[in-house]
Each structure stands twice: as C-alpha cells, then as structure tokens.
Amino acid sequence: LVVGMLKSRNPEELLGALRADDFDLVVCCNAPTPRGTPASELMKVAQAMGCDDVQSFDKVDAALSYAYRGLRAEDALLVAGSLYVVGEARPVLRTIIA
C-alpha cells in the first residue's frame, strides 16, 4: 500500500477503511501539495494501527520505487489516498513498469 492524503481528511479513518494493517507493507508519502498530511504523521498512525512494516518518503516517486522493488509476482500494489498522489503515481508507475 502506497498512501498519501490531504490534511482535510482523517488518517485513522482512511487507513482503517483501507484495512492498512492487512498489508505486508505500508509506504506513506507526502501528497504533492502544501495541503498534504506529512508522511511522518501517516506513518505514526499506521504504526499505531498495528501495521508491521511502515516506511515514509517525502516524494511519491520514491515511495513507489521502494514499494515496487519489494513486489513478488503474486503481489499487488495499491496506491490510495489523495487524487494528487494517484495522479502523480500514474506516470511514475508507467516508467517503473516499462
């Protein structure tokens, strides 16, 4: 799970709805906007929920690169949270996968 969100949203609610604690890896990143929740704050929330492996990155591309490197053939990569994050992730993933 790669996740980044805006400050106007509740991180506990979002991570709970995504069942973040069921993921093998949670990678938090800053949304590419000044209105974003700091990745370090998302990381603390994920850890408090019981997520075992949580990482934090300032940039979406760094978060995606880290998450993608650890994928196995049977794994899936979910990018969630703010549309700012998902929008920035699309071209990055195209580059990583190509």
Question: Given this model, what pLDDT does residue 97 score?
Answer: 85
User: Could you give the CA distance from residue 43 to residue 46 in angstroms, rounded to a whole number?
Assistant: 5
Architecture of the structural domain at 2-97: Alpha-Beta Complex (3.90)
Structural domain boundaries in the chain: 2-97
Q: What is the pLDDT of residues 21-77, one digit of tens each?
A: 999 999 999 999 999 999 999 999 999 999 999 999 999 999 999 999 989 999 999
pTM of the model: 0.93
Full 3-state SS string of 10-64:
CHHHHHHHCCHHHCCCEEEECCCCCCECCHHHHHHHHHHHCCCCEEEECCHHHHH
